[in-house]
Amino acid sequence: MNYIVFDLEWNQNPNTKMKINKLLPFEIIEIGAIKLDENRQPVDTFHRLIKPVIYHWIQDSIYQVIHVNYRELQRKGIPFADAAEEFMEWCGDDYRFCTWAKQDVMELQRNMRYYHMLDLLPGPVVYYDVQKLHSLSFEDGLERRSLEHAIEQLGIIKDQGFHRALSDAVYTSRVLMQVDEKYLTGYESVDSYQNPKEKEDEFIYVSGGCEKYISREFANREKAAADREVKSTHCPVCNLKTTLPPGSKGSIWNLGSSRVYYSLTACPEHGTVAGRIRIRKTEQNRYYAVKTLWVASEREEIWMRQKIEALYNKKNKV
C-alpha cells in the first residue's frame, strides 16, 4: 500500500456582495501530493494548478498567503475535472490518503461531486489525519498543532515555503515519516461526507482496538440519537456487549455542550471502552450518527471519566 500525502489550496467568494455558490463554497485551485511507499519513503510527486470557473478573482487574504493570482491560474491552470482525474489515476489502486487535519479530504470530495466525479472516490473515505498522528506521537494526543509548529518541533529543515500545496504536502510527509508505526493501526480517520443513506449501506470500520460506525440518515437529530444501533455499546475487539462499571455517574451516553455524546463502559475481556457519538447534518437537512468505540488507555480513561463526571455534575447541579 502507498501513502498519498496531499494538500489543497482553494479560493472562496472574494466579495461579500457576490452570491456564494452553496454547492461549492470553496473552489480548489491547486493540488499537491507526494507518494510514499509501504516503508514511508518518497517515490513520486504530483502538482497541478487549476483554472477557477466559479469565483473569478482570488480573495485578498488567500493571495497574501499563497501568492498566486487569478491571471496566473488562468494562464497555467487546467480544468478541475482534468486535474482530479489525473490525480486519482496517479494515486493508483492501493493507497491511503494522508492530510494535515480533516478539511482537505472533504473539500476534494465536494469539488468532485460538483463535477459528477465521485465514482472515482467512493466513500466514506478512510484516511490518516497526520495532525492527529503527530499529537499522538509527540504531544498529549489531544492538542492540535500547526504544520509549521510540528516541523520546528521535530527539527525538520525548512527548505521551502509554506502554504503552497506541494510544499505543504512534502512537509506533511516528513512528519508522517517520524510518526511511531504503532499509530498507523487503530488511529485511522473516516470522512463521512459521502454518508450512508439506507440501513443496508451503514458503514463499519474496525482497526486495532477501535471501531468507527456511520449510521443511515434520519429525519431529525433526536431520531438519530435515539436509534438502537447508534446507542449500543460493545467491545471493538471481541464484540461483547459492554456495561457501566460499578459506581459510575451518569448514563451510558452523556450529552456534552457541543452536541457530542460520551460513553465509558467496561468489557470483561478487554477493559475500559470509551465511546463518542457525533450527530451530523447533511446538505439536504437530514441527520446521521458517527460513533467511535475504542479500548481506552489509562490516560484516555481518566480524561473521559473526568469529562463525564463534569457533565453529570452540571446536569444535576452538584
Say what percent of the chain tops pLDDT 70: 94
- Are residues 231 and 141 part of one domain? no
Domain that holds residue 102: 2-184
Residue 190 within any structural domain of the chain: no
Residue 213 within any structural domain of the chain: yes
- Are residues 203 and 88 part of one domain? no
Local structure of 247: helix, strand or coil: coil
- Are residues 158 and 212 part of one domain? no
- Are residues 173 and 202 part of one domain? no
Residue 191 within any structural domain of the chain: no
Other residues' Cβ atoms within 10 Å of the Cβ of residue 264? 26
Average pLDDT, the chain: 92
Last-in-domain residue among 184, 217, 249: 184
Tell if the pTM clears 0.85, that is, is over it. yes
Task: Quote the number of domains for the chain.
Answer: 2
Pairwise CA distance, residues 48 & 33, whole Å:
9
Q: Given a cut of 80, is residue 302 above it in pLDDT?
A: yes
Q: pLDDT tens for residues 256-283?
A: 877 899 999 999 999 999 999 999 999 8
Determine which helix (DSSP H) or strand (DSSP E) holds 70, and give its type and residue range.
helix 70-76
pLDDT band at 311 (very low <50, low <70, confident <90, very high): confident
**What's the pLDDT score for residue 98?**
98
| DSSP code, position 132 | H
Which has more pLDDT, 226 or 64? Answer: 226
**What's the pLDDT score for residue 156?**
95
- Are residues 32 and 171 part of one domain? yes
- Are residues 110 and 15 part of one domain? yes
